[in-house]
Amino acid sequence: MKIDRLISIITLLLRKEKVKAKELAERYEVSVRTILRDIDAINQAGIPIVTYRGANGGIGIAEGFRIDKSVLNYDEMASVIALLNGIGSLSIGQSDVLMEKMKCNLNQQHRGNTEGRFSCAA
């Protein structure tokens, strides 16, 4: 479904600095042309997309658009994840997306954390 792919692309772009269109096409099993149309749709929706040319190029989200990860500290994010996990069955998919984003942010904040409490899909 297109909307699922768009949300997934946005989430991926928020986690990585840049991603190649070919890599996205392979990941979602669509053509590069479809990915470029998806990127255009994301840009038209108000998310500032930038493209980088060259061998190390790719597609990314403009600097300054990403959420400031310092809004919640590690313990607060862990509490929110536990809460979302508890109410996850009550909402239809929305808590899963939010929980995945929170887990990724939590892992990025504490890369050296050896507890391994949360896993983030790569």
In a domain, 117, yes or no: no
- How many structural domains are present in the chain? 2
- For position 122, what pLDDT does the model report? 44
**CATH number for the domain that contains residue 42:** 1.10.10.10
Domain extent at residue 78: 69-109
How far is residue 29's CA from residue 21's CA, in Å, rounded to a whole number? Answer: 12
- pLDDT attached to residue 116: 46
Same domain? For 10 and 53 the reply is: yes
Q: What is the pLDDT of residue 47?
A: 87
Report how far residue 101's alpha carbon sits from residue 43's, in angstroms, rounded to the nearest whole number. 20
Q: Is residue 86 part of a domain?
A: yes
Each of the 122 residues of the chain gets a pLDDT tens digit; together they read: 688 888 889 888 888 889 999 999 999 999 999 999 999 999 998 889 999 998 888 999 888 776 566 666 777 777 777 776 666 555 555 556 666 776 776 666 665 544 445 455 54
46 shares a domain with 80: no
Q: Under a CB-based contact definition with an 8 Å cutoff, are residues 5 and 30 in contact?
A: yes
7 belongs to a structural domain: yes
Which pLDDT does position 76 carry in this prediction?
Answer: 75
CA distance 35 to 9: 9
- pTM here is 0.55
